[in-house]
A and B are shown apart, each in its own frame.
Chain A
Amino acid sequence: MSLQDRIDALDTDRDLSVDFDFDREKAVALAVFLIPGLTLFGIFSVGPIVYSAIGSFFAWDTFTMEHFVGLDNWIRSLTDPLIVHWSNMQEFRYPMGALTHNLLWVVVHVPASTFLGLGLALLFADLKGRRILRSMVFAGFTVPPIVIGLVLMFIYDPQAGVFNELLRVLGQDHLVRNWTQSPQVAIYALIAGGIWVHTGFSMLLYSSALSAIDPSLIESAKVDGAGPWRRFWDVIWPLVKPVTAVVVIMGIIWVMRMFDIVYAAGGAAGGPNHAYSVLGIEVYRAAFRPEIDYGMAMVVALIQLFIVAPLALYIARMR
């Protein structure tokens, strides 16, 4: 290697190191900006998840981690009738387990609130006073869920409740009962309340999606000869479909995290004999009510996370 070559090589090295310096500066800048956010995210999100994930494999003496027990907590939780009650499920008798109840919420609540929201949004779209109507329907969603739970208690009260009074007026006295305390129907009574609240949310999203549709598209379809039903299926529905994904997923997340309404109506037991307990209630009870079973609380919370996280991720990554 000649001297010239060595000098050239040195030059290239220097160039490289300059580049590297520049990159390092950028990296430092990036880090400075990222650290505050990442710290909070780490302490309050990642930390607890990792802690629970590890903790779910250990035995606990109240809040003190003891020895490694492998899948013991998991097996114990998943076979617990409070989480999934197989024999009651076969007889369709409540309680069927918190996970089952949560899934029931998903199956009933999510489609109902989605369609009701779409229906109301369509109904209000061309109505005079639609802003007032929308605000009234959406008001339910702005109320804290724990208050909704209390309101439901009043509505379903056997003596003072509006709902039972309505039944009496309609001459259906035999149906009058304390709805939130009757195991076989209580969960549906609560789901109905949940639908009322959440319809406001889906209606709002659909309303904004509908108002984003160019009115000349609808008029064009009219001129093309499409009736109201065709206009809905061929033009409106395809254009609000992306919103439907958001509404459905947000709905699933909302009911999977359900706690307040159930707690207000049925306390920490989730109704008489856990008749409408949900996963959130089970986490709370396992963690904070004697006999404290911290391992189980962690397992149930992780189950909730496994269901909700992919959905949340999907929403976050939608264009």
Chain B
Amino acid sequence: MTSISMENVSKYFDSGETIANYQLDLEAEDGEFLVFLGPSGCGKTTALRLIAGLEQPSEGAIYFDGERVDGRSPSDRNVAMVFQNYALYPHMTVAQNIGYPLKVRGVPPDERDRRVETVTELLHIEDQTHKKPAALSGGQRQRVALARAIIREPSVFLLDEPLSNLDAKLRQEMRIELKRLQNELDITTIYVTHNQEEAMSMADKVAVMNQGTIQQVAPPQELYDRPRTAWVAQFIGSPPMNLFRGTRRNGSVDLGEAGTVELEGVMNAKAAVETGGRDDAGTASMLASDVHGTVALGVRPEDLTVSTTRPSSGNAIEGTVGTIEPMGEYDLVNVSVNDQIVNAKVSEATVARDDTVYLTFDDEDAYLYADDGELVV
């Protein structure tokens, strides 16, 4: 059992020309399921390879259980890795593939066979052991790769987009299977994906990455409830959070023709929710009338209510209905607010195209992001 920590880890390629990772700070607890989530090219795979030892950091340190491991080879770190394309040895049978890590470690053949049998049963591939990888389906290959990774009981389990080559149904199945395995084996697991659904459903903790840096590390629910930057807010959720651009003036956000949103209620609602929150002085300074600047007001589509009449009290944002997308489970209303398209998720759309509508929301569902993308409240 191992805890992993990265301290200020940076990785540069092409003698500093390309920055793959910049000052990553991360802790993964013993037995935790940590997911690196981010768009392609954000450096999440490089971060995983740094932990695996397939790349060495340009700066910073990596610790396993407090012991510094950067500079060590992958085999010295006792990590197991599942590659995106599975990386099964094409000339070996399934059994030989799975048994290979044990063979390298000099485990006697009898013991090897016994353990291969155990893991193939665990992953339901006991009938495939004599076949070559080429004769297997995608899902079976995936299972073989998993079996090869878990057979030697590694201290860290690394998965690089393991489900991305599978079809939707199989992906769903394997997601459950992976989660079950991780629960059973209780191995510290780091999982790389660009699919937020995978991340949210499996992770104990998600590290959201963009452009080589970690944007936020939080459990899935917190990531959804309190996205720390505008970028995370727009990355998590489907469809993503709406950000209304406006100017802050006299304790409210001016959205131009679409109206203004009073901040006081938003502030108070957040202060009540927040644990250990911001001090009152901070809140007061937020509300101070002399503070100006461009801000973004974030509201998730599912928290917006669409009505055709202006509500008597509370904040309302005016807009024009564009298209309506019926999704079956809900209707997605695209509303144009100041030339900006925002989404509202409603159970049943009662509005029509070109209607003028008012978008309302509860104060505690609103987020305010400063010009630099940081969460204000």
Interface residues in chain A, defined as those with a beta carbon under 8 Å from any beta carbon in chain B: 214, 216-217, 219-227, 230, 234-235, 238-239
Please state if B85 and A214 are interface contacts (CB–CB under 8 Å): yes
Other A-B pairs, 13, CB within 8 Å; known A219-B87, A222-B75, A224-B148: A214-B85, A214-B87, A216-B83, A217-B89, A219-B54, A219-B74, A219-B81, A221-B100, A221-B104, A222-B73, A222-B74, A223-B75, A224-B80
Residues of A close to B101: CB separation below 8 A: 224-225
Q: Is B52 on the interface with A (CB-CB < 8 A)?
A: yes
Please state if A224 and B91 are interface contacts (CB–CB under 8 Å): no
Please state if B54 and A223 are interface contacts (CB–CB under 8 Å): yes
Please state if B83 and A219 are interface contacts (CB–CB under 8 Å): yes
Q: Is B90 on the interface with A (CB-CB < 8 A)?
A: yes
Please state if B83 and A220 are interface contacts (CB–CB under 8 Å): yes
- Once bound together, how far apart are the Cα atoms of A222 and B56, in whole Å? 14
User: Are A226 and B83 CB-contacts (below 8 A) given A217-B89, A234-B100, A239-B90?
Assistant: no
Interface residues in chain B, defined as those with a beta carbon under 8 Å from any beta carbon in chain A: 52-54, 73-75, 79-81, 83-85, 87, 89-91, 100-101, 104-105, 148
- 19 A-B residue pairs with Cβ-Cβ distance under 8 Å, sorted by A, are A214-B85, A214-B87, A216-B87, A217-B89, A219-B74, A219-B81, A220-B81, A220-B83, A220-B89, A223-B53, A223-B54, A223-B75, A223-B79, A224-B100, A224-B101, A224-B104, A225-B101, A230-B104, A238-B89
Residues of B close to A235: CB separation below 8 A: 89
- Once bound together, how far apart are the Cα atoms of A224 and B53, in whole Å? 12
Residues of A close to B74: CB separation below 8 A: 219, 222-223, 225
Give the residue among B75, B79, B105, B148 with the most A Cβ atoms within 10 A.
Answer: B75
- Once bound together, how far apart are the Cα atoms of A277 and B53, in whole Å? 57
Give the residue among A224, A226, A230, A235 with the most B Cβ atoms within 10 A.
Answer: A224
- Once bound together, how far apart are the Cα atoms of A65 and B87, in whole Å? 65
Residues of A close to B52: CB separation below 8 A: 223
- Once bound together, how far apart are the Cα atoms of A236 and B73, in whole Å? 19
Taking the nearest CB of chain B, how far is it from the CB of A190, in angstroms?
A: 38
- Once bound together, how far apart are the Cα atoms of A226 and B89, in whole Å? 13
- Residue in B80, B91, B104 whose CB lies within 8 Å of A238: B91
- Residue in A217, A219, A226, A239 whose CB lies within 8 Å of B104: A226
User: Are A216 and B104 CB-contacts (below 8 A) given A223-B74, A223-B75?
Assistant: no
Instruction: Considering the complex, give the chain A residue whose CB is closest to the CB of B85.
Output: A216
- Once bound together, how far apart are the Cα atoms of A234 and B74, in whole Å? 18
Residues of B close to A221: CB separation below 8 A: 89, 100, 104
Taking the nearest CB of chain A, how far is it from the CB of B144, in angstroms?
A: 12
- Once bound together, how far apart are the Cα atoms of A222 and B75, in whole Å? 6
Instruction: Considering the complex, give the chain B residue whose CB is closest to the CB of A217.
Output: B87
Residues of B close to A217: CB separation below 8 A: 87, 89
- Once bound together, how far apart are the Cα atoms of A224 and B85, in whole Å? 16
- Once bound together, how far apart are the Cα atoms of A224 and B84, in whole Å? 16
- Once bound together, how far apart are the Cα atoms of A300 and B81, in whole Å? 60
Taking the nearest CB of chain B, how far is it from the CB of A311, in angstroms?
A: 24
- Once bound together, how far apart are the Cα atoms of A230 and B106, in whole Å? 12
Please state if A226 and B75 are interface contacts (CB–CB under 8 Å): yes
Taking the nearest CB of chain A, how far is it from the CB of B187, in angstroms?
A: 14
Taking the nearest CB of chain A, how far is it from the CB of B136, in angstroms?
A: 16
Taking the nearest CB of chain B, how far is it from the CB of A178, in angstroms?
A: 49
Residues of A close to B83: CB separation below 8 A: 216, 219-220
Residues of A close to B100: CB separation below 8 A: 221, 224, 226, 234
Please state if B89 and A223 are interface contacts (CB–CB under 8 Å): no
Please state if A223 and B85 are interface contacts (CB–CB under 8 Å): no
Give the residue among A220, A222, A238, A239 with the most B Cβ atoms within 10 A.
Answer: A220
Please state if A225 and B75 are interface contacts (CB–CB under 8 Å): yes
Taking the nearest CB of chain B, how far is it from the CB of A137, in angstroms?
A: 27
Instruction: Considering the complex, give the chain B residue whose CB is closest to the CB of A239.
Output: B91
Taking the nearest CB of chain B, how far is it from the CB of A146, in angstroms?
A: 42
Please state if A223 and B104 are interface contacts (CB–CB under 8 Å): no
Residues of A close to B84: CB separation below 8 A: 216
Residues of B close to A225: CB separation below 8 A: 74-75, 101, 104-105
Residues of A close to B85: CB separation below 8 A: 214, 216
Taking the nearest CB of chain A, how far is it from the CB of B349, in angstroms?
A: 47
Closest 8 CB pairs of A and B: A225-B75, A220-B87, A216-B87, A224-B101, A238-B91, A223-B74, A216-B83, A225-B104
- Residue in A214, A224, A234, A238 whose CB lies within 8 Å of B75: A224
Residues of A close to B73: CB separation below 8 A: 222
Taking the nearest CB of chain B, how far is it from the CB of A240, in angstroms?
A: 11
- Once bound together, how far apart are the Cα atoms of A224 and B333, in whole Å? 51
Residues of A close to B80: CB separation below 8 A: 223-224
- Once bound together, how far apart are the Cα atoms of A223 and B151, in whole Å? 13
- Once bound together, how far apart are the Cα atoms of A217 and B91, in whole Å? 11
Residues of A close to B104: CB separation below 8 A: 221, 224-226, 230, 234
Taking the nearest CB of chain B, how far is it from the CB of A40, in angstroms?
A: 40
- Once bound together, how far apart are the Cα atoms of A239 and B89, in whole Å? 9
- Residue in A222, A224, A230, A234 whose CB lies within 8 Å of B54: A222
- Once bound together, how far apart are the Cα atoms of A189 and B81, in whole Å? 51
Residues of A close to B53: CB separation below 8 A: 223
- Once bound together, how far apart are the Cα atoms of A223 and B152, in whole Å? 12
Taking the nearest CB of chain B, how far is it from the CB of A272, in angstroms?
A: 50
- Once bound together, how far apart are the Cα atoms of A221 and B104, in whole Å? 9
- Once bound together, how far apart are the Cα atoms of A238 and B105, in whole Å? 20
Instruction: Considering the complex, give the chain B residue whose CB is closest to the CB of A235.
Output: B89
- Once bound together, how far apart are the Cα atoms of A222 and B81, in whole Å? 10
Instruction: Considering the complex, give the chain A residue whose CB is closest to the CB of B84.
Output: A216
- Once bound together, how far apart are the Cα atoms of A217 and B87, in whole Å? 5
User: Are A223 and B81 CB-contacts (below 8 A) given A230-B104, A234-B100?
Assistant: yes
Residues of B close to A226: CB separation below 8 A: 75, 100, 104
Taking the nearest CB of chain B, how far is it from the CB of A216, in angstroms?
A: 4
- Once bound together, how far apart are the Cα atoms of A126 and B282, in whole Å? 56
- Once bound together, how far apart are the Cα atoms of A230 and B101, in whole Å? 11
Taking the nearest CB of chain B, how far is it from the CB of A267, in angstroms?
A: 49
- Once bound together, how far apart are the Cα atoms of A230 and B91, in whole Å? 15
Residues of B close to A230: CB separation below 8 A: 104
Residues of A close to B91: CB separation below 8 A: 238-239
Residues of B close to A238: CB separation below 8 A: 89, 91
